Amino acid sequence: MAGCKKGVKMKIKVGVLYNSWKSLQELTKVDLPISVAFDISELIRQVLGNVLNVHKVRAELIKQHGTPVKEKVEKNGKTEEVETGSYTFDAVSQKSFNVELAKVTEKEIEIPIQPIKLSSIANEMTIKGVKLSLKPETLIPLDWLIVR
């Protein structure tokens, strides 16, 4: 993305946005220059629908392809099997799940983005006046957004 002009339209896979969501949320917790904070909030508004759609489809596919984990629970002197909310996958169901999920996450969309220069946030980030840094685990998913 180095060399991108301001406000360019970028083609990006929905899965990249989905995997970037946690990092974008982390950026909303820090004090940033007003223009950077505005650009991030605009980006979040633009990608939220896609992220929620992937989350919904993923949850449906887990139920469709997975096997619910059950545990035995004593209730009123009787033992009942209750679903825990977790699912397991055998090799075949895992492959089917991955193929179906890829149909959603591999779709490319075009979004207008405002690349964020690392130098514009590097010395400015604070929480309640305390300077902070970001971990690589936060920055790696945002390599499409943050430029040197």
List of residues 6+ apart from 86 with CB closer than 8 A:
68, 69
Residue 1 lies in a domain: no
Residue 64 exposure: Cα atoms within 13 Å on the Cβ side: 13
pLDDT band at 21 (very low <50, low <70, confident <90, very high): very high
| 3 in any annotated domain | no
Residue 76: give the domain boundaries: 8-147
- Residue 136 covered by a domain: yes
More confident residue, 129 or 50: 50
In a domain, 124, yes or no: yes
Please give the model's pTM, rounded to 2 decimal places: 0.75
Residue 5 has what DSSP assignment?
P
43, 25 in Cβ contact below 8 A?
no
Q: pLDDT tens, 60-107?
A: 999 999 999 999 888 888 888 889 999 999 999 999 999 999 999 999
Block residue for tokens 């887990």: 62
Number of folded domains in the chain? 1
What percent of the chain is modeled with pLDDT above 70?
A: 86
Identify whether 2 is part of a domain: no
**122: in domain:** yes
User: Has residue 52 been placed in a domain?
Assistant: yes
pLDDT category at 3 given cuts 50, 70, 90 is very low
Q: Is residue 130 part of a domain?
A: yes
